[in-house]
Amino acid sequence: MISPQMNGRLDLIRNTLKSESGPRLVFAYGIVPKFRYDNGFEKIILFGSPAGFSWIGFLFSAYFFSYIKNYKVFWLWGGLRFIAALIQVTINSEFQFSLLADIALSVLCGFWFPYNRLNAIELGLSENSIAKSIALTLILGFIACSPAALVESLALLLRG
């Protein structure tokens, strides 16, 4: 089910794509939306995008990406958390870089979710049920965060 607010965002994207000099919507790594123009120029969609910022995509990004069956967000989440854990351990900092990575990814998902939602609709993907989306979010989130947790735990053990 698509909310009226999301339908408005999807219409803004569709109108941008239909314009005379309109770009094509493509995705890097299956999740990062980009506009590709006829001259070959590509623009990663972020601030100032036609669809604006989706608060639901920001607040519940992992859940809604599971809902539309785009599980690549978990690869990105796991990768960012792993890099953050390596930085934290390497510089021996108490600052939670993984929290910073989580916030950064949530902001990106707030901008990217409407485009991924439109892509799922145009590909004809059925949505997961609410229960399945919650279960997948918990399972895939645990799997995605495990390498970073392992790095942080090993660092604590080695410090003694």
Are the beta carbons of 149 and 90 closer than 8 angstroms? no
Look up the domain containing 112 and give its range.
4-159
- pTM score, two decimals? 0.89
pLDDT tier for residue 114 given thresholds of 50, 70 and 90: very high
List beta partners, residue 26. 34
For residue 22, is pLDDT > 80?
A: no
- Computed over every residue of the chain, the mean pLDDT equals 92
Cβ(50)–Cβ(12) under 8 Å?
yes
Task: Report the percent of the chain where pLDDT is more than 90.
Answer: 76
In the chain, how many domains are there? 1
Give the number of other CB atoms < 10 A from CB of residue 7: 10
pLDDT of residue 92: 85
Q: Are 25 and 42 in contact (CB under 8 A)?
A: no
In three-state form (DSSP H/G/I as H, E/B as E, the rest C), the secondary structure along the chain is: CCCHHHHHHHHHHHHHHHCCCCCEEEEECCCEEEEECCCCCEEECCCCCCCCCCHHHHHCHHHHHHHCCCCHHHHHHHHHHHHHHHHHHHCCCCCCHHHHHHHHHHHHHHHHHHHHHHHHHHCCCCCCCHHHHHHHHHHHHHHHHHHHHHHHHHHHHHHC
DSSP lists the bridge partners of residue 130 as none
More confident residue, 94 or 120: 120
The residue behind tokens 């100032």 is 48
pLDDT at 144: 96
* Rounded average pLDDT over 9-30: 89
Q: What is the structure's pLDDT at 58?
A: 95
- pLDDT grade, residue 49 (50/70/90)? confident
Instruction: Provide the β-strand partners of residue 24.
Output: 36
